[in-house]
Amino acid sequence: MTQEAVNPKDGPVESVMAFRRFALAVCLIGVLVQLGLTAYYLGMGHKAQPHHLPVGLVSPAAKRTAVITLLSENEYFKVTDYATADDLVIAIKRRDVYGGVDITASKPHLYVAGAAGTAAASLLKSTYTSVVQQQTEAALDEAAAAGDTMTVSAAKDLNTPPTVTDVVPLPSDDVNGVSLGFLTQALALGGTIASMGLGRLIPRARRSWRRGIAHVSILIVYAVASAAVILWSMTWFGVGETADRGEMLGIFSLISLAITASTAGSVALFGPAGALLGALYFTLGTVISGASILPEFLPSFGKHLGENLPTGAGVQAVRDDLYFPAAPIDQHLLVLGLYAGIGALIVLVTNMLPNRRNRTSEVDLDLASRLEGAERREPVNI
């Protein structure tokens, strides 16, 4: 029996070439991912400008047109009229508007809600202060041109800083209002890791209705446990001290379940690649959740997408429950419930469906077991 000559250099050369191709592919994918994320992040937050920010106005008919014209410039604000300052305050507490101005008295009065978003409050304050200063300068110039004299008390009154009332201020331990973003990121990342981890455990039992119920039950138990941990950690920093603990536990549990169940359902349908959904919640969803950049400061696409993701709906539900108990949160809870319910249903059904190959519903372990078996197999000498 003859044996063809084999060049001993073919093996190492081929391995080196394969390594180079693999390294090139990894670098290329990394660069493309970085490019995409950079474009996405800068596109959403590089030049954040308000778009139709809801504000209120209490004004006599004679002054209304001028104020509406001023506020409607550049389409920054969407103005709603209110009869009295009390009606405006109620609307702010319901989060119908971010703030508003009352110009029925001799001096205007601005109302804001710092807890609704520091960007909106700062914009309202700067716009209000600028307008008042312009009006003061115009009054002084008019008096000077007419040669009128002004008493010291009148001058002091004219130069008195404008009145601003923060109807719903942020707590002293969260002056920048960034806590909600951090909490959402923790829930999104923890939920994704938990969904992937469960995929290493659940498929070790054969498909049946028991496995489906067990899988969904574990998702629910994890959601409650992760919510309890988040709620407990908040107390370390004085966040949410006045909130209803039971309500907060329920909302955090629903957020966690929406993330974990939808990610688990995605993996059940598409295999390991479905875990990317959880990664997208963390990398993309938190940016447009409204925690750090308010929805009205995002591009239209980011605003609507963010509000309909578990991260965005969760941030708004938590913010309202913490600071705006009069605000309705039914819409946010509905979004979270749909993600949680549909994801859990997919996990339940895919675990119950008969499959002769008994493929996993979360992470496909078949390839891993074959590789492990191949590594243990003894070489056969011919």
41 CB-side CA count, 13 A: 11
Place of tokens 């950049």: 293
From CA 102, how far away is CA 87, in angstroms rounded? 11
Count of other CB atoms within 10 angstroms of residue 227? 21
- The pLDDT assigned to 356 comes to 40
- The pLDDT assigned to 30 comes to 84
pLDDT band of 49, cuts 50, 70, 90: confident
Instruction: Note whether 336 and 314 are within 8 A (CB).
Output: yes
- The pLDDT assigned to 1 comes to 47
pLDDT band of 144, cuts 50, 70, 90: low
379, pLDDT greater than 90: no
DSSP annotation string for 215-271: HHHHHHHHHHHHHHHHHHHHHHTTTTTTS-HHHHHHHHHHHHHHHHHHHHHHHHHHG
Indicate the helix (H) or strand (E) that contains 128: helix 118-146
**Which residues are CB-contacts of 72 (< 8 A; sequence separation ≥ 6)?**
79
- The pLDDT assigned to 81 comes to 93
Instruction: Note whether 190 and 216 are within 8 A (CB).
Output: no
Instruction: Note whether 291 and 317 are within 8 A (CB).
Output: no
Mean pLDDT of the chain: 80
Q: Which stretch of 45-54, 77-86, 330-339 has the lowest confidence by average pLDDT? A: 45-54
**Which residues are CB-contacts of 143 (< 8 A; sequence separation ≥ 6)?**
150
> pLDDT: is 337 or 129 the higher one?
337
Count of other CB atoms within 10 angstroms of residue 189? 17
Place of tokens 């675990």: 351
pLDDT band of 359, cuts 50, 70, 90: very low
- The pLDDT assigned to 163 comes to 85
**Which residues are CB-contacts of 324 (< 8 A; sequence separation ≥ 6)?**
93, 94, 95, 113, 115, 116, 168
From CA 265, how far away is CA 191, in angstroms rounded? 13
pLDDT band of 44, cuts 50, 70, 90: confident
pLDDT digits (tens, 9 = 90+) for 53-68: 999 999 888 888 888 8
Instruction: Note whether 256 and 187 are within 8 A (CB).
Output: yes
- The pLDDT assigned to 140 comes to 65
pLDDT digits (tens, 9 = 90+) for 11-21: 566 677 887 78
Q: Which stretch of 54-58, 124-128, 140-144, 294-298 has the lowest confidence by average pLDDT? A: 140-144
- The pLDDT assigned to 136 comes to 66
From CA 113, how far away is CA 227, in angstroms rounded? 27
Highest mean pLDDT of the ranges 139-148, 274-283, 358-367: 274-283
94, pLDDT greater than 70: yes
